[in-house]
Amino acid sequence: MGFIRPEREQQILFGYSLDEFVPADALCRFVVDLVSRLDLRAVYADYSDQGGDAFDPAMMLSTWFLAYAEGETSTRELEQRCRRDMHFIYVSGNLKPDHTSLSRFRQRHLARLPDLFVAIVRLARQKGLSQFRTICIDGTRLKANASPGRSLTSEELQRGLEKIRAQIAEYLKQCELADGAAAEEGELRRELARLQARQAQYEQRLNEIEQRRQTLHSQNRERHRINLTDPDALKMKKVNAGRGVPAYNGQASVDAETGLIVAAEAVTDANDGAQFSRQHAQVEETLGEDESRTYVADAGYHSLDQLKYADDNRVDAVIDDRRPDHRSPKADQPAGDATRTDGQRVTRAAFAFDADADEYICPLGRRLGFRNLWTDRAGNTFRVYGRSCMDCDSRAGCIGRTGTETYKRVFRNVLEPLAEAMAAKAAAEAGRALLNVRFATSEPVFGNLKENLGFRGVRLRGIAKVRGEWLLMCIGHNLNRLFRLVGSDGLPRRDQGPSSESAPGALIRPFPGRRYASVIRIAA
């Protein structure tokens, strides 16, 4: 039996085509085809005919899309894959972009990603993959590219700043005593410059944290921390099932039928309480307004302000209630249990509300009438109900532990009817079914991003850049979903932007020793 041996020195007369080394049903082909259908005129418009030649933006965009679809976010690793991985070599046309070019391209075009994200979702809608009638909203925490040890309180910043100033004063004295020794003085000057830069950083962070403290509740001001490396990242708990670290909150709205992310945004809020309205607005803008569309969210999105938004905009929404036991039953429902207590106090849910009489009914059947309106510091308005309970033997467990108080008050937010209606909707059979759909829709998306693709944190710093990177992550997820849904059939054709061959002023220049390699120059 003979052997087919490799002839590495053998010269090839006609050469090879990169097309021959990639399977017909490969994801890289799908990505290149999808990018060719996007309108990239705005991306090309960022370039001019001045300076050196640039890599084709369509090629670079395809490379980054494929990278995030395969869980690769490191520019240095991506550089190596463009040299060794045939799928990336196919996408880049064997141009082999270096890590610096890849990094600059990613950061340069982050602001373009929202439009490209929307364009991809609209291509899926045009394909008719889904009616996009049920949208599930959820969030996940993304570890920031910052050390937890670099998060300091205002007091810690002040102490550090005083220490740095003392070190600077000491180095200034040493510079004066250097006696003209060039080498020694040069080293001192370099260290002095480093300390002065650190001083400027501490002063800037101290100013930023003082501005933040003005917006915080008084009990949180002293313990609030700011990160020296990435001040936009806030300390959040349960990040990747670990301890509290600097992180961002990645929001995603997912279509229940296809698993496609149809809206996404990274925010600095540690909780989701204000995000429902933002996600709803983005979905409606991307897919078009549809009053028959249903939105589902977990209890983290439940707040009276968001319920008011849903009611004002006639949004068909099911938002789970984080405290359903605090909702008062109606007057015609069974009375509350007087023995059900929170510590030694009868809970608010034990008081039924009679909407017709505008009164609360205590577990013993006594009525509390409306007394006045009250507004707290946050601007929330409450209707106050009360009565004298001097002759009630249960007042110690209802009003106070000492038993000396005699007047019972119940505070009812003016938006409480919205919460009661949502609680009833979520508790109904149809509501519970939709909440189960949300769990089976949103959680697998985050599981794919974090477990399969390894997106447990971000590489870029600052909320503006992190928003762009989060969109890249979501685009990577959508590309994998679309590839599974449509396969090699591709997506609908549309009027596309210029490619490297059709761009105005494009110059096709083969590199020496490289086949099929080209760069472009775009006219201003």
- How much is the pLDDT for 370? 93
Signed CA dihedral, 345, 349, 352, 357: sign only: positive
pTM: 0.84
Gap between the Cα atoms of 27 and 479, Å rounded: 9
When pLDDT is cut at 50, 70 and 90, the band that residue 481 belongs to is very high
Across 348-471, the runs of DSSP E, i.e. the strands, are: 352-354, 359-361, 367-375, 381-388, 407-413
When pLDDT is cut at 50, 70 and 90, the band that residue 341 belongs to is very low
Gap between the Cα atoms of 487 and 483, Å rounded: 5
**286-338 tens-digit pLDDT:** 999 998 999 999 999 999 999 999 999 999 999 998 777 677 776 666 555 54
| Three-class SS state of 339 | coil
Gap between the Cα atoms of 435 and 300, Å rounded: 13
Across 113-190, the runs of DSSP E, i.e. the strands, are: 134-143, 151-153
How is residue 144 written in tokens? 């920031």
**Is 88:80 a contact under the CB 8 Å cutoff?**
no
- How much is the pLDDT for 515? 31
Gap between the Cα atoms of 422 and 420, Å rounded: 5
CA 125 to each of CA 264, 283, 464: distance values in angstroms, whole numbers, following the listed order: 17, 12, 28
**Is 454:317 a contact under the CB 8 Å cutoff?**
no
Q: Pick the closest to residue 35 from 56, 54, 18, 58 (CA basis).
A: 58
Mean pLDDT score across all residues of the chain = 84
**416-427 tens-digit pLDDT:** 999 989 998 998
Supply angle C-alpha 176, 181, 183, rounded to 5. Answer: 110
- How much is the pLDDT for 28? 94
CA 70 to each of CA 94, 117, 121, 360, 456: distance values in angstroms, whole numbers, following the listed order: 19, 17, 19, 58, 14
Gap between the Cα atoms of 109 and 126, Å rounded: 25
CA 384 to each of CA 351, 369, 381: distance values in angstroms, whole numbers, following the listed order: 13, 8, 10
The more confident residue out of 509 and 168 is 168
Gap between the Cα atoms of 144 and 463, Å rounded: 10
Amino acid identity at 272: D
Amino acid identity at 9: E
How is residue 415 written in tokens? 């938006």
pLDDT over 60 (residue 490): yes
- How much is the pLDDT for 185? 65
Gap between the Cα atoms of 105 and 64, Å rounded: 9
Amino acid identity at 443: E
When pLDDT is cut at 50, 70 and 90, the band that residue 284 belongs to is very high
Lowest mean pLDDT among 62-71, 335-344, 453-462: 335-344
**92-151 tens-digit pLDDT:** 999 999 999 999 999 999 999 999 999 999 999 998 999 999 999 999 999 999 988 888
- How much is the pLDDT for 403? 52
- How much is the pLDDT for 501? 41
Mean pLDDT of 246-267: 95
Q: Which residues contact 218 (CB under 8 A, 6 or more apart)?
A: none
| Portion of the chain with pLDDT greater than 70, in percent | 84
Gap between the Cα atoms of 140 and 473, Å rounded: 13
- How much is the pLDDT for 77? 96
Tell me whether strands 245-255 and 234-236 are parallel, antiparallel or unpaired. antiparallel
459-495 as b/e, with b when 16 or more CB fall inside 10 Å? ebbebebbbbbbbbbbbbbbbbbbbebbeeebbeeee
When pLDDT is cut at 50, 70 and 90, the band that residue 225 belongs to is confident
**187-207 tens-digit pLDDT:** 777 888 888 888 899 988 988
Residue 394's CB is within 10 A of a number of other CB atoms, namely 15
**364-376 tens-digit pLDDT:** 888 999 999 999 8
| Portion of the chain with pLDDT greater than 90, in percent | 51
Across 184-232, the runs of DSSP E, i.e. the strands, are: 225-227
Mean pLDDT of 448-461: 93
Mean pLDDT of 446-471: 94
Q: Pick the closest to residue 65 from 478, 494, 497, 396 (CA basis).
A: 478
Long-range contacts of 322-325 (CB under 8 A, 24+ apart): 324/423, 324/426, 324/427, 325/349
Q: In what order do the strands lie in the sheet with 359-361?
A: 352-354, 359-361, 367-375, 381-388, 407-413
**Is 236:247 a contact under the CB 8 Å cutoff?**
yes
| Three-class SS state of 290 | coil
- Domain ranges, ordered by start, for the chain: 11-108+494-524, 149-227, 325-414
**Is 394:377 a contact under the CB 8 Å cutoff?**
no
Mean pLDDT of 82-89: 94
- How much is the pLDDT for 189? 78
